[in-house]
Amino acid sequence: MLAMTGPSVTAEPGCLPVRGDLAHIKLAGLCFVPHYAVPVAYTAKAGAQLVSAPTTTGEVLAELDEGAVFNVLDIAGAWSWGQIGEDGLVGYVALEQIEAPQAGE
Residue 26 placed within a domain: no
pLDDT digits (tens, 9 = 90+) for 61-74: 999 999 999 999 99
Predicted TM-score (pTM) of this structure: 0.86
Residue 53 placed within a domain: yes
Number of domains in the chain: 1
Domain hosting residue 50, numbered range? 39-99
pLDDT digits (tens, 9 = 90+) for 19-75: 999 999 999 988 889 999 999 999 999 999 999 999 999 999 999 999 999 999 999
Average pLDDT over residues 74-100: 98
Residues 72/48/76/17 CA torsion (nearest 10 deg): 40
Residue 47 placed within a domain: yes
Residue 27 placed within a domain: no
Residue 78 placed within a domain: yes
Average pLDDT over residues 2-18: 65
CATH number at residue 71: 2.30.30.40
